[in-house]
């Protein structure tokens, strides 16, 4: 139950951070390009890489911090950070095929999945 509570608290904070940063970006730069999404994905990836390195290699933080920050906050803030971190981890271990399969598969198949979803939404 403690894990669920930590994830939930982090998710509330992460979802709100995503929303407010997206609104701020739209107000500052407009909506012709998804600046908010780009900034959220890049900062989420940066923060996940930084946090996981500190948590697992430098300071060996209590695993509860991972539930709060990595799973909860960053999971709600952006799942892109998880995708890029996992891809980087595979590549860093020399698992080139798996790393690039995750990168290309998630991007290309994700794009096709969005297209399929749009098609289904328009035609059902």
Largest CA distance in the chain: 52
Domain boundaries, the chain: 2-93, 95-124
Q: Which two tokens stand for residue 88?
A: 């980087």
- The reply to whether 75 sits in an annotated binding site is yes
- The reply to whether 115 sits in an annotated binding site is no
pLDDT tens digits in sequence order for the chain, 124 residues long: 999 999 999 999 999 999 999 999 999 999 998 899 889 988 998 889 899 988 888 888 888 999 999 999 999 998 788 888 889 999 999 999 999 998 988 889 888 988 888 888 899 8
Q: What is the pLDDT of residue 23?
A: 96
Q: What is the pLDDT of residue 95?
A: 95
pTM exceeding 0.85: no
* DSSP assigned state of 124: -
Whether 71 and 10 have beta carbons less than 8 Å apart is answered as yes
**3-state secondary structure at position 8:** helix
Q: How far apart are CA 54 and CA 48, in angstroms?
A: 10
Q: What is the pLDDT of residue 14?
A: 97
**3-state secondary structure at position 29:** helix
């Amino acid at each position: 139950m403690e894990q669920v509570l930590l994830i939930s608290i982090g998710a509330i904070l992460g979802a709100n951070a995503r929303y407010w940063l997206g609104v701020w970006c739209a107000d500052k730069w407009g909506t012709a390009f998804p600046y908010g999404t780009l900034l959220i994905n890049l900062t989420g990836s940066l923060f996940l890489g930084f946090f996981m390195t500190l948590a697992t290699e430098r300071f060996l933080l209590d695993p509860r911090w991972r539930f709060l920050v990595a799973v909860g906050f960053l999971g709600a803030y952006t799942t892109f950070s998880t995708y890029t971190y996992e891809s980087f981890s595979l590549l860093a271990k020399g698992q080139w095929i798996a790393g690039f399969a995750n990168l290309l598969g998630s991007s290309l198949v994700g794009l096709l999945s969005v297209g399929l979803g749009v098609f289904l939404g328009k035609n059902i």
